[in-house]
Each structure stands twice: as C-alpha cells, then as structure tokens.
C-alpha cells in the first residue's frame, strides 16, 4: 500500500523536475493546460480559471489522488504539465498525465515518467501501475510504449475515456524499471 505520509516534495531530473501540487502553481497550471491537451484528454477545450482552481483544490483533498506532481522544465523553470497517480479504483485509471504541446518531444515526458515510476515503485509495494489511453491518442500510446508500458490485450477497448472514446488499458510492471 501507498504510505500516505510519504510526501517527497520534489523529484529532480536532468531536464525536468516534478514538484508536488501547490496553490501557487494553480494559475500557471491553468495557462498551460491548453485546448489541444484538453482535446486529447476528451474534455472541453476551455474552462474558467476558477474551474481549474476548484478542480485542483478538490484533487489536493481527494484521498484517491495519491500523488500529484507538476512537471517543470529545468531550462525555462516553467510549469509544463502534470503527472498523477490515483488509486486503482478511480474511474480514470491510476496514471494521468499531460504536457503542454510546446514541450512535446525532447525527452521531457520520458524523464518525468521515469522519475514518477521510480518514486512510485520505491515508495510502495505495488507491482503494477496502469492507465487508460484513448485508442486514437497515438502520441500517448507511443510515448508510454517507449517507456515499456504494454497494452493489456485482455481488456482492450473495453473501457471508456472521455465522451464516447474507447481506450486501451496500458500496464507497466515493477520489473521493467531499470533492469
């Protein structure tokens, strides 16, 4: 089980740093959570700042949100995305992530994912982590496969993510971490 007191504030990589969600990140989070990212996640293209703040505050108090990190680019020090781990019974699956499209490629998400997965498996006894990815979200499927995630063929296309979207369940196991 995940230790609720396990609260490392910062995971520092070469090109990105993961920082636990804090209230002073809310505005930057809102600004970087772009219409394109929202479309890929199957949610409406825009929202008011207050809606984002309400959502983030709810996540901070939600026991199903076990780890909520914002991704910062080490060069520009900008908040460029987020990566979260939810409990296994959360309707959106365990792993959730996004990176603003101006920062796609270049290894930032790969490093963010690697930092998160390392921390997750070091701080819990869990053996797997899974995510749901819309079947037409090719970029996300490829990004996760590059890290070692595999499509769970037994549940293929049986889950829904966003409105009317079929999704794959993708799985990463502890054994895949660093040999």
Ligand X SMILES: CC(C)(COP(=O)(O)OP(=O)(O)OC[C@H]1O[C@@H](n2cnc3c(N)ncnc32)[C@H](O)[C@@H]1OP(=O)(O)O)[C@@H](O)C(=O)NCCC(=O)NCCS
Q: Of these, 21, 26, 29, 40, which contacts ligand X (CB under 6 A)?
A: 40
> Nearest approach, Cβ of 3 to ligand X (angstroms)?
26
Please, which residue, 125 or 177, has the CB nearer to ligand X?
Answer: 177
Single out the segment in contact with ligand X by CB under 6 A; choices: 5-13, 48-56, 114-122, 135-143: 135-143
Q: To the nearest 5 percent, what fractions of the chain are helix, strand and coil?
A: 35, 30, 35
Q: Which of 132, 133, 111, 123 is nearest to 174 (CA)?
A: 123
Nearer to ligand X, 16 or 66 (CB): 16
Sign of CA dihedral 137, 26, 106, 8: negative
Q: Which of 26, 72, 98, 172 binds ligand X (CB under 6 A)?
A: 98
Copy the structure tokens of residue 120: 């997750």
Q: Is the dihedral of CA 175, 4, 51, 162 positive or negative?
A: positive
**Residue ranges binding ligand X (CB under 6 A):** 37, 40-41, 97-99, 104-105, 108-110, 131, 133, 137-140, 142-143, 146
């Amino acid at each position: 089980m995940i230790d609720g007191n396990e609260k490392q504030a910062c995971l520092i990589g070469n090109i990105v740093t993961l920082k636990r969600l804090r209230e002073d990140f809310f505005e930057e989070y809102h600004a970087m959570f772009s219409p394109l990212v929202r479309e890929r996640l199957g949610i409406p293209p825009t929202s008011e700042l207050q809606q984002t703040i309400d959502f983030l505050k709810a996540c901070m108090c939600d026991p199903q949100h076990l780890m909520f990190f914002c991704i910062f680019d080490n060069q520009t020090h900008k908040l460029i995305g987020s990566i979260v781990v939810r409990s296994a019974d959360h309707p959106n699956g365990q792993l959730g992530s996004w990176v603003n499209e101006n920062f796609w490629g270049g290894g930032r998400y790969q490093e963010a994912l690697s930092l998160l997965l390392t921390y997750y498996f070091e701080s819990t006894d869990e053996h797997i982590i899974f995510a749901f990815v819309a079947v037409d979200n090719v970029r996300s499927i490829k990004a996760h496969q590059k890290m070692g995630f595999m499509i769970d063929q037994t549940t293929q296309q049986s889950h829904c993510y966003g409105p009317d979207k079929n999704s794959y369940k993708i799985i990463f196991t502890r054994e895949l971490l660093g040999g």
